[in-house]
Structure 1
Amino acid sequence: MSLHSAFRFLWTYLRPLSGFLLLLVTLLTGATVLRLLFPQLLRSLVDRTMEGAPLPELVLPAGLFLAAALLIQVLRITATMLSERIAWKATNALRLDLARHVLGLDLAFHKEHTPGELIERIDGDVTVLAGFFSQFVAQVGASLLLIGGVLVVLFTEGPLPGLVGLGSFALGIAAMLAVSSLSVKAWAGIRASSAEMMSFVEEHIAGREEVKALGADRYVLRRLMALSARHWRLRWRARALETTAAGVTYVTWVLGQFAMLLLAWSLYRNGSLSLGTAMMLFFYADLLGEPISTIRNQMDEMQRARAALGRLVKLKAVSPAITDGAGGALRDGPLSVTLERVSFQYEEGRLVLNDVSFHLEPGRTLGILGRTGSGKSSLIRLLCRFYDPQEGTVRIGGSDIRQLPLDELRSRIGLISQEVGLFGGTLRDNLALFNPAITDEQIWAAVHRLGLTGWFGRFEDGLDSRIGPAGGGLSAGEAQLLALVRLSLRDPGLVILDEFTARIDPVTEALLQRAVDRLLAGRTAIIIAHRLTTVERADDILVLDQGSILEWGPRRILARDTRSHYNRLRSAGSEEVLA
């Protein structure tokens, strides 16, 4: 991306910190002005010493010389601390913006990008920008001011010192730009390689049980070594380019120093200037080396930042396919569910749902049966509006869900799947989802409503009991019971249970089924069945086959109809719906 676009993007986050930026520029400007006066104080001290001035007359310039040196360091340290504060305030705002943006993107995006890759974008690339935020503008600005001041002073002393200083500066900048321009693509490749490696590690740590069970440890290690070797080669190339740029800049600085030393010695020898002035010229020539080196380092930082920034801008530009509707709120109480000739596909030409239509009255429970791949879970994703159908309309509570605000829709739907999302923290945190507005009294009331008070007694510290990351220390059934309490706190009008008893032992399942009965009372419910016994509580049955409705109707009528598919399944005691 262009520098103009980069600065325009960054200014969004720097604008709120403009007061701090102004203070930073003031501090660096003050330090730069003092550094420009520093050689002048040195000339005065040396010349007066060479003229034989008495010691008392030398105390004042010597004191000013030392005070200026001390004040320069104080200003630079203060500026460094302030720049770090600006950097982390700005990048934390960017990090928060990106996290909010990514969480708002639809499932289709998250299917294409692993958590490891997104973490590397949100944290790794933003951390790279922190150095850019904290140093680049202020440091480069101060360096250019110092270079400009030095050149003005040198030309004031005479055309020859000015031309030597200007030539040294021009040669250093030209050499730096010639080499540094090669590192942009190198650093872009490094950040992409880092994201790929993070994604690989995250994916295989998450699947560590399968990796160990299948004996795939060696494959994972070989692949990780290959990714690491590629990453090392890219970093070696980038560092080589940076080292080359540093070496070239150093050589030009030495040549400039040598040229100014010869000039100062020649002019001093023929009496054209004093020893103090000769030392001042050499000191100014030395001052030119530091800002050029600073600019080179900041240019290297900018190359890394531009590579990171390009990916962040690209990520920020991704628009969610699922957007808020402009409609109003859903009514309280149980909600009706209607699908009108709905067809849906993830990929072009491969229908997952084909012309599906049904209506579920408020307060009734629908059991959905079907083989794996029949479209059960896809139907649930449409109801939660994780995706939109290509054809047809989905209505909840009589409203087209595309016309509803997403927060309103999802606050009225409660979904529990096989994999319950639990987080490292207390029971309270996991049940209230870190919402401080939910009180302990509300949580215990929900536990009591579901008949789980006795079961909760197993947690010795009550709501302060700790849960490991991803629900560590809990069985699948226990996680489901916590999910039911969490759902009860939200008081949804539609409850969706997606094969929630698939991995639960009989004892826990009996407790779970009683809690589910209480939760579903007075609510509309959709149950995707793992076992036929699970849908015995359903009022209606929907059987899906290859994305189409094979059978739909009241459960009691279908159970008595010997021609129905549901009846044949019950008679055979079959679990073929899972095959």
Structure 2
Amino acid sequence: MFLTVLLALLSPVRPYLIQLSVDKYISNDLMRMLLTVTILQVGLLVIETVVRFFFSYLTNLLGQSVIKDMRVAVYKKVVRLDLAFFDKTPIGTLTTRTINDIEAINDIFSEGIISIVADLLMIVAILGVMFYEDWRLTLISLSPFPVLIFATYIFKESVNKSFHRVRNAVSALNAFVQEHLTGMVVVQAFSAENREYGKFRNINKDHRKANVDAIFAYSVFFPVVEIILAISLGLMVWWGANKVLNFEVTQGVMIAFIMYLNMLFRPLRILADKFNTLQMGMVASERVFKVLDSNEYIADNGTKTGEHMKGGITFDHVWFAYKEERYVLKDVDFDVKPGQTVAIVGHTGSGKTTIISILNRLYEVQKGTISIDGVPLADYRLDALRSRIGVVLQDVFLFSGSIYENITLRNPAISREQVEQAAKLIGMHEFILQLPGGYDYQVMERGSTLSLGQRQLISFIRALLYDPAILILDEATSSVDTESEMLIQHAIDKLIADRTAIVIAHRLSTISKADKIIVLDKGEIKEMGNHEELLRLEGFYHKLYMMQFKKAESQI
């Protein structure tokens, strides 16, 4: 801001020195004084150049510092949002918020508010000097200004609308590309390349049109500014020439006014553009702050560490809905004693996976309470709760990086010896050693270089290492072949022996050994008991058994 004021004060000095040179020193043939003033002007030009350098450098440095901090703040917020936010927000849109929109906020500092203040101060300083020198000549010169102000307003509104469409089109492009690159297997498997290409062309066409509309506004506005400048200069010369001839205005004043007008119109040409840059930065900041101000996160106000957690689980009349009143779980009520193995069965969409999601506090329930060892989930610290619950999901996600990093999730507290020991227990140690680099083998994005079964085995090692009090297996062996299942079955039995386990599985071997089986249908518990008890009831479980398990049992 100091440099902004300094630049505004320096701007009118050089034209004034030229005026002084023409009127006093050239007219009176004072060459020595003229040389002094010329040296002074060169020095002034050097000073102004240095000030402009530091002004430009510091404003951009400020912008980059702000967006660095904002990106960290946004990402910190995003990783703490609950999964309901991600269920309804496209990943590409969040990518746009974190990268493109925050980059637009940088423009607020580098080309926006500070530059606008600098230009406005310079305009005020130049106008002040012009009115001081000759107010009548100034008014004649600025008579076309109302037309310029009107044209600037029309330009600002037109470009602002176009820029809004550009930002929305960029967001749509990012979301489309991210989604389709991730799902490219489906696109190619169903020969949908041409259809999806057509959709992309339409989105890209919208993006192009929005940009072209903005370009059209620029193409009209800048020539209009040049024409108005030419008219101002013409009026000034027409009126000023008569005054010079009548010795009412000096030649130096006329030359200085030509410079003043050029200096005045230079910021005015781009002032409207800078206002639009500022507006777009504000629009982008609104979108970013919408993420930062989102209250869609799991409140972490608990104090319990769960260090001595035994694993007793209580669902007390729990109701849960992903959307408003469309309940996925309805009055779910059951107890699991520490060390018990509970299997949850039911048709697809019955709410099995939802139970483990709310147990992990990935979502908050609408009614009822969930407790572990008699302590409500909200009383546990979120990180402590989740560290005491091990999860092996059906759809295993692996990050880009080594197998070792994927197993430990870059936790420095876990040694390589512990990883190898857990891998041996699962039966994966030899397989990993056969890979190029062994545990340092680089897994591609989403683990595409490994089979689904191998990815599940790696996630199982991950769960073993964290030594959880409660183990959740979400159909963890559903995509593993018989040989691989045999490799981990012994480890599963050993792992769940001294801890509570909740198993969602379709395989007879896993369910039949459970201490308790919960049968879900459309979010409600229909039956509960062990394998033999439920078969004797000849109800929902018996029906599922006959449909899904009898054939498998006969094959065994």
TM (norm. structure 2) is 0.90
Q: 1:409 aligns with which of 370, 385, 388?
A: 385
Q: CA RMSD in A?
A: 2.8
Q: Give the one of 328, 333, 342 matched to 2:318.
A: 342
Write the letter of the residue equivalent to 1:466.
Answer: Q
The letter for the 2-side match of 1:404 is: Y
2:348 aligns with 372
- Equivalent residue number for residue 52 of structure 1: 29
Note if 1:482 corresponds to 2:458.
yes
Matches within 5 A, 1:435-450: 435-447=411-423, 450=426
**Partner residue in 1 for 2:489:** 513
| 8 Å Cα contact 1:151/1:166 also seen in 2 | no
After superposition, residues 178-217 of structure 1 pair within 5 angstroms as 178-217=154-193
- Which residue is equivalent to 2:212? 236
Q: 2-side partners of 1:178 and 1:392: how far apart?
A: 58
Q: 1:169 to 1:487 in 2, by over 3 A?
A: farther
- Determine the C-alpha separation between the residues in 2 that align with 1:271 and 1:241: 44
Give 2:221's aligned residue: 245
CA distance in 2, matches of 1:308, 1:92: 15
The equivalent residue for 1:295 is 271
Q: Distance in 2 between matches of 1:60 and 1:537?
A: 101
Partner of 1:528: 504
State the 1:515 CA deviation.
3.6
| Deviations 1:456-485 (CA, angstroms, capped at 9, x unpaired) | 312342443211111131111221222123
Note the 1:255-266 alignment, pairs <5 A: 255-266=231-242
Change over 3 Å in CA distance of 1:168–1:141 after alignment to 2? farther
Q: Determine if the alignment matches structure 1 residue 574 to structure 2 residue 549.
A: yes
Q: How far is 1:166 from its partner? A: 5.0
Corresponding residue number in structure 1 for 2:55: 79
1:384 partnered with 2:335: no
Question: What residue identity is the alignment partner of 1:53?
Answer: L
The answer on 1:558 being equivalent to 2:550 is no
> Which segment drifts farther, 144-153 or 176-185?
176-185
Letter in 1 for 2:51: L
Equivalent residue number for residue 494 of structure 1? 470
Amino acid at match of 2:156: S
SS in 1 for 2:549: coil
**Does structure 1 retain, via aligned residues, the 8 Å contact 2:392–2:474?**
yes
Structure 1 residues 157-166 or 285-294, which shifts more? 157-166
Q: Unaligned 5+ residue runs, structure 1?
A: 1-24
Q: Which amino acid aligns with 1:265?
A: A
After superposition, residues 111-190 of structure 1 pair within 5 angstroms as 111-164=87-140, 167=143, 171-190=147-166
Matched-pair contact (CA < 8 Å) for 1:139–1:294: no
Letter paired with 2:371? R
Match of residue 11 from structure 1: none
Asked whether 1:225 is paired with 2:201, we answer yes
Alignment of 1:266-281 (within 5 A): 266-281=242-257
- Answer yes or no: is 1:33 the counterpart of 2:9: yes
Q: 2:447 aligns with which of 461, 466, 471?
A: 471
Structure 1 distance, partners of 2:249, 2:327, is 89
Structure 2: distance between partners of 1:167 and 1:492 = 79
Cα distance in 1, alignment partners of residues 510 and 128 from structure 2:
86
What does residue 397 of structure 1 align with?
373
CA offsets 1:434-470 (integer angstroms, 9 cap, x no match): 3445444554454456554333312342443211111
1:454 corresponds in structure 2 to 430
Q: Distance in 1 between matches of 2:21 and 2:405?
A: 69
Find the aligned partners of 1:413 and 1:211 in 2 and give their Cα distance: 36
Relative distance call for 1:152 and 1:570 in structure 2 (3 A) is closer
The equivalent of 2:397 in structure 1 is 421
CA contact (8 A) 1:446 1:485 kept: yes
SS where residue 330 of structure 2 aligns? Answer: strand
Letter in 1 for 2:333: S
Q: Is the 8 A contact 1:176 1:248 kept in 2?
A: no
Q: 1:332 is aligned with what amino acid? A: H
Q: What SS class does the counterpart of residue 52 from structure 1 fall into?
A: coil
Amino acid at match of 2:163: W
Q: Does structure 2 conserve the Cα–Cα contact (< 8 Å) formed by 1:152 and 1:162?
A: no
Give how far 1:560 is off: 7.7
State the identity %. Answer: 29
**TM-superposed deviation, 1:307:** 2.8
Letter in structure 2 aligned against 1:558: E
Separation of aligned partners in 1, 2:463 and 2:295:
30
- In the alignment, is residue 432 of structure 1 matched against residue 420 of structure 2? no
1:487 counterpart SS class:
helix
Alpha carbons 2:107, 2:278 under 8 Å: kept? no
State yes or no: 1:544 paired with 2:499.
no
Give the counterpart letter for 1:123 in structure 2. I
The residue identity in structure 2 corresponding to 1:155 is F
Q: Could you tell me how far 1:406 is from its partner in structure 2? A: 2.5
Question: Which residue identity does 1:361 align to in structure 2?
Answer: K
Which amino acid in structure 1 is aligned with residue 549 of structure 2?
Answer: S
Structure 2: stretches of 5+ with no match in the other structure = none
Deviations 1:207-253 (A, max 9, x none): 11111111111110111111122222222223323443334333333
What per-residue deviation string (whole Å, max 9, x for no partner) do you get for residues 392-438 of structure 1?
22112221223433223222222221222211122333223234454
Q: Secondary structure at the match of 1:323?
A: coil
Q: 1-side partners of 2:334 and 2:510: how far apart?
A: 21
| Counterpart contact for 2:427–2:488, Cα < 8 Å | no
1:246–1:296 contact (8 Å) kept in structure 2: no
TM-score, normalized by length of structure 1? 0.87
Distance 1:245 1:358 in 2: 71
Is the partner of 1:283 in helix, strand or coil?
helix
Alignment partner of 2:276: what SS?
helix
* Residue in 2 that maps onto 1:88: 64
Give the SS at the match of 2:396. Answer: coil
SS of structure 2 residue aligned to 1:457: helix
Cα separation, partners in 2 of 1:347 and 1:157, compared to 1, 3 Å:
closer
C-alpha distance in structure 1 between counterparts of 2:472 and 2:502, whole Å: 5
Aligned 8 A contact 1:558 1:564 in 2: no
Q: Rate the CA distance shift 1:278–1:527 in 2: closer, same or farther, 3 A.
A: same
> Partner of 1:18 in structure 2?
none
Question: Would the aligned equivalents of 2:408 and 2:462 in 1 still touch at CA under 8 Å?
Answer: yes
Change in 2 beyond 3 A, CA 1:215/1:500: same
The residue type paired with residue 51 of structure 1 is: N
In the superposition, relative to structure 1, how do residues 178 and 488 fare at CA in structure 2: closer, same or farther (>3 Å)?
same
Q: CA deviation at 1:529?
A: 0.2
In structure 1, C-alpha distance between the alignment counterparts of 2:550 and 2:425, rounded to whole Å? 32
- Aligned match of 2:280: 304
Give the match for residue 6 of structure 1.
none
- Aligned-partner Cα distance in 2 for 1:435–1:166: 68
Q: Do 1:257 and 1:286's aligned partners in 2 also have CA atoms closer than 8 Å?
A: no
Aligned length: 551
In structure 2, distance between residues paired with 1:447 and 1:150: 76
* Residue aligning to 1:358: 334
